[in-house]
Amino acid sequence: MALGWEDIRTEVLRRIEARHWAPGALIPTEEALAEELGCARTTVNRALRDLAAAGLLERRRKAGTRVALHPVRRARFDIPVTRLEIEGRGQSYAFHLIEERRAEPPAAVASLFRSPPGVPLLRLRGLHLADNRPALYEERWLDPAVLPEPAPDFRRISPNEWLVSHVPWTGGDIAFSAANACPEEADILGCAPGAALFVCERVTEAEGRPITSVRLLHAPGYRLRADL
């Protein structure tokens, strides 16, 4: 015998898909399932926990486990370091630093960083190249407090890569959208003005405080893939 937790998960999933347990319905308790299926409650727990994490079940103490009424599709994707993403496609990678200076951020960014007015942040702009063609343009604000002495040379290593491997992150927020390229952006990315760009806006936090916010503009043709 020796039923594994994946076997249990498969069986439960089968019953859900076969409408043996209807959406919204209560399913048996872990203890009952363990007895019926012939395994320990721990094993059932592992299987049900996994299905709940996938969005197919809703579990609450005392209330029991229900089949999700509106099965939310939960997608996942990896956000690799830009260099690795490009090299992973078999292309050569290069980074070109466009601007690096201390500057007072616009009000929206300042309030995001909760920094008092008048305190400058580090403004970084740069272009990631794939096979010497523009692939990704980044505009970044960075809290200089995270930089060591001496500061890293962002002409040699992109802020993206330096941050990932030197600053411990604890959380953040990310959003995707589409925007028309303004003339300057079109010039930098080598595309037509007005071209539809895939935009990624990210705020990264460490110890509960934002340390960097970045707006990434992908050259036309970029696709972000995810698994369901």
Partner DNA sequence: AAGTGGTCTAGACCACCGG
Partner DNA sequence: CGGTGGTCTAGACCACTTA
Exactly one of 11, 13, 52, 220 binds DNA (CB under 7 A); which one? Answer: 52
Give the up-direction half-sphere exposure of residue 182: CA atoms within 13 A in the CB hemisphere.
3
Rounded-to-integer distance, Cα 200 and Cα 135, Å? 13
Local structure of residue 28 (DSSP, 8 states): -
Interacting partner of 72 out of DNA, its own copies, none (Cβ under 5 to 8 A depending on kind):
its own copies
Residue 223 CA to residue 198 CA, distance in Å, equals: 8
**At CA 14, angle to CA 28 and CA 5, rounded to 5?**
70
The residue count for binding DNA (CB under 7 A) is: 26
CB of 55 to its own copies, least distance (A): 7
Interface with its own copies in residues 33-52 (CB under 8 A): none
Q: By CB under 7 A, name the one of 11, 13, 45, 109 that touches DNA.
A: 45
**Among 12, 16, 39, 86, interactor with DNA by CB under 7 A:** 39
- Asked whether position 143 contacts DNA by CB under 7 A, the answer is no
Residue 25 Cα to chain centre, angstroms:
33
Q: Say if CB 3 and CB 37 are below 8 A apart.
A: yes
Rounded to whole angstroms, the Cα distance separating 104 from 89 reads: 38
Among 11, 13, 54, 59, binds DNA (CB under 7 A): 59
**Residue 154 half-sphere exposure toward CB, CA atoms < 13 A:** 22
Length of the chain: 228
CB-based contact 109:97 (threshold 8 Å) = no
In the region spanning residues 150 to 169, those forming contacts with its own copies, defined by CB under 8 A, are: 164-165, 168-169
Of 23, 25, 31, 179, the residue at the interface with DNA (CB under 7 A) is 31
Q: Which stretch binds its own copies (CB under 8 A): 32-40, 58-66, 116-124, 213-221?
A: 213-221
Q: How far is CA 133 from the centre of its chain?
A: 25
Binds 76, which of DNA, its own copies, none (CB < 5 to 8 A, cut-off by type)?
A: its own copies
With CB cut-offs between 5 and 8 Å by kind, which of its own copies, DNA, none does residue 10 bind? Answer: none
H helix or E strand, kind and range, residue 177? strand 171-180
**Which of 74-82, 114-122, 124-132, 141-149 is the region at the interface with its own copies (rule: CB under 8 A)?**
74-82
Residues that bind DNA (CB under 7 A): 2-6, 29-31, 38-43, 45-46, 48-49, 52, 59-65
